[in-house]
Amino acid sequence: MQAILPISMVPGNSAIHKISPLPKFLWVGAVLVLSFATRNLAILGGITILGLIFVTIAQIWKSYLKVMRIFFPIFLTLIVLQSVAPAFPRPWTPITPLGPFTIYQEGIYSGLSMELRIYCVTTFALVAIMTTHPSDLFTALQRLGMPYVLNFIMTVTLQLIPILQNEFAIVLSAQKSRGLKGTGFSALLPSMVPVFVGAIERVQQLSISLESRAFGSKGIKTSYRNIHNTIWDFMILGVGMLGSCGLLSWIIFDKSLDWSRTLVFAPWLALTLVGVATLGFLIFVFFALRAVLSA
Amino acid sequence: MPEPIIVCQDLWHIYQGGVIALREANLTINRGEIIGIIGQNGSGKTTLVKHFNGLLKPTRGVVLVKGQNTAPMRIQTLAASVGYVFQNPNHQLFAKTVQEELEFGPRNIGVPEEEVAERREKAIEFFNLQELRLLHPYRISFPLRKLVGMASIYTMRPDVFVLDEPTTGQDNITTHIVYQLIKRLREEGSTIVCVAHDMILLAEVAERMIVLRDSHIIADTTPREVFSNRELMQSTHLTPPQIAQLTLRLKEHHKMDQLFLNVDDTVKDLDSQLHSNSPK
C-alpha cells in the first residue's frame, strides 16, 4: 500500500558514494550542457555508457531501473511520434511508408537523440542523487553560497514528497473502503482534497514549529553532517570539467559531428525500430488500462 | 449456532522489504460479535484488520468474508460487507458538506436514491449532526469530524464495522456517542471489530478480546480473562482499566469474588456486600 518514491539515496560504500557531492553535481551540470549541445548519437551514447558504468560501480542498478521504467513509455512514444512527425527543420527525407504515415530519416534520428539526451542526463542525475545523502547535498550547496532559507525549502520539499505519496496511498485506501471506483479523473478528486488539506495543515504546523525553534535567526548555522573535500574530489572535479570543456569545444568547432543528414537508416531498420516501439507502447497501454480497471 | 462472518486461516502478511507483520493468524469472527483487538504499536493489529476489507491481501493463508475468499475480490466489492472507519477522519473526508459525505458511500455501492436519503437522515439523527449537515467537514472540530467519518460508514450498512481507534482524540461527549454507537450496532445485529488502546472502552463493550504480540495472536478470550492475566498484560505492556486493577487486587485479597470491568458492576457488588455485612 505504501508508495515510497524510489528517487532517494541508496546506502552504500562504493567509490561513487565516497565522492563529495560538489564534484558529482558539477558533473551532472556538465552532462546536461553537453547533451543539449550535441545531437551526435555516438557522443550521447558514449556519455550514457559512462553513466551506466557509474551505476555499476555504485551498485544501484535495482533502484536505477525502478526509476527508469517510469520513463520507458515516454521513450517508446518519442520514437513513434518523432519518426512520423519529426521535431526537425524541413526538408525531411522519407525512408519508407507505414500505413497512412511516412517514416522520416530525420524523425528516427531526432527520436533517438532525444532519448539518449534524456537517458544520459537522467542516468548521471540518478547516480548523483542515489549516492549522496540529502543533507550532504544541501550542506554542499550552502557552502557554494546558496541562501539558508532556500536550501531549507528544498530539503523540506524533498522530504515531503514521500510523505505525501504515503498519505495519498492511505487516502485512496480510505476512499476505496467506501466503494470508490478507482478510475478516471473524477475518482482522483476524493483523494486529492484530503491530501492537499493535509499538506496545507502540515505546512502551517511546520512553520509554527520552526519559528518556535528559532528558524530565521541570524548568524552562522552549524550542520550535523560535515563535508570534507579531499584531493581525490578535486581531481575528479578537475578531470570532469576539463573533459567537458574539451568535448564541448570539439562539438562547437567540428561541424561534421552533426550526423542528422548523413546517417542513413535502412528501411528495414527504421520499420523494425518503429514497429517494436509501437508494439511496446501498445503493450504498456494494455497493462496500464488493466491496472486501472482492476484498481 | 454461531455464524462465521470472517475467517482467517494461517494468515501471514509480509510487507515489501521483508518485514513480517503477521504470522500464522487463525481466527473466526461470528456474526453479531463485538471483538476488541489489542497489542502494542507494531504488533500487527492494523495489518490484521486491513485484511478484512481487502486493503491488504494475504501473503500466505486465506481470509474468508461471508464464506468468500478475499484474495481475488476488490476492495470496492468488500466495502459493502466490511466497513472500515479510519483512525484519522481527514483521510476520508473530502465532500463540500457533511451530508454529501454521508451519501458518498451508499451511492458508490449502488443504493437507490430514496434509500440513500433515508440512511443519511438516520445517520444524522443518530450521530446528532443536524446542525452540521450543511457545513464543510473541515470546518468542524476534530472529534465531530471523526463522528462524521463513522457516520459515513454507518450509512453503508456493512455487516462488519472495523473501528480503528474510535475514541482517540475524542472528548467526553463524542466518546459517549461512540459507546452508544457500538451498543446500537450490536442491537442491530452488526459485527464490530474494534482496534483500540482505550482499555476502558473495550472493557465496557467487547465480548471477546484478541491480543497480538510480535505479529502473533497470543490470546483470544474474554476481556475478564485478558485483564485478570497479569503475565499477559505485562508481556504486552498493556494496562487494564483502573477499575479492573482495583477489583483484581481486592479479589486477590479475598475481598471480592470476581473481577469487574466497570464502575457500575463494582459499585453494585460492593453495595450488596455492605448490605449483607451491615447489622440488621
Relative to beta strand B60-65, strand B4-14 is antiparallel
* Per-residue confidence band for A4, with pLDDT thresholds at 50, 70 and 90: very low
Report pLDDT for B65. 95
Inter-residue contact B97 to B135 (CB < 8 Å): yes
Residue of A nearest to B51 (CA): A177
Residues A196 and A236 in one domain: no
Residues A130 and A246 in one domain: yes
pLDDT greater at residue A183 or residue A127:
A127
Domain boundary among A219, A245, A280: A219
Domain boundaries, position B261: 241-280
Report pLDDT for A295. 56
* Per-residue confidence band for A292, with pLDDT thresholds at 50, 70 and 90: low
pLDDT, mean of residues A89-110? 84
Highest mean pLDDT among A45-59, A190-204, A266-280: A45-59
Residues A108 and A235 in one domain: yes
Nearest to A178 among B16, B79, B90 (CB): B79
In a domain, B68, yes or no: no
DSSP labels, B16-33: TTS-EEEEEEEEEEETT-
Look at the pTM and tell me if it is higher than 0.90.
no
* Per-residue confidence band for A3, with pLDDT thresholds at 50, 70 and 90: very low
Domain boundary among A187, A219, A251: A219
Residues A34 and A96 in one domain: yes
Residue of B nearest to A193 (CA): B94
Residues A30 and A83 in one domain: yes
Is the pLDDT score of A103 beyond 90? no
For residue A179, give the 3-state DSSP assignment: coil
Domain boundary among A201, A219, A237: A219
Report pLDDT for A183. 56
Residues A125 and A167 in one domain: no
Q: Tell which B residues from 17 to 46 touch A, by Cβ distance under 8 Å.
A: none
Residues A240 and A259 in one domain: yes
Please check whether residue B147 touches A, CB under 8 A. no
For residue A199, give the 3-state DSSP assignment: helix
Is B156 in contact with A189 (Cβ distance < 8 A)? no
Report pLDDT for B76. 83
| Test mutation, A171, A177, A294, chain B, max B CBs within 10 A | A177
Tell me how many domains chain B contains.
Answer: 1
Residues A139 and A246 in one domain: yes
Taking the CA of residue A7 and the nearest CA in chain B, the distance in Å comes to 16
In a domain, B251, yes or no: yes
Domain boundaries, position A157: 147-219
Question: Average pLDDT per run of 10 along chain B, which is 280 residues long?
Answer: 92 91 95 94 93 93 95 88 90 88 89 93 92 90 90 93 90 86 88 93 92 94 91 89 89 82 87 74
pLDDT, mean of residues A114-136? 90
Residues A156 and A212 in one domain: yes
In a domain, B214, yes or no: no
Enumerate the residues of chain A whose CB falls inside 8 A of the CB of residue B83: 177
Tell me how many domains chain A contains.
Answer: 2
In a domain, B271, yes or no: yes
Is the pLDDT score of A189 beyond 90? no
Inter-residue contact B70 to B78 (CB < 8 Å): yes
pLDDT greater at residue B50 or residue A209:
B50
Q: Which of A84-88, A246-250, B101-105, B208-212 has the lowest average pLDDT?
A: A84-88
What nine digits make up the cell of A63?
533502484
DSSP labels, B95-151: SSSHHHHHHHHHHHTT--HHHHHHHHHHHHHHTT-GGGTTS-GGGS-HHHHHHHHHH
In a domain, B149, yes or no: no
Residues A15 and A151 in one domain: no
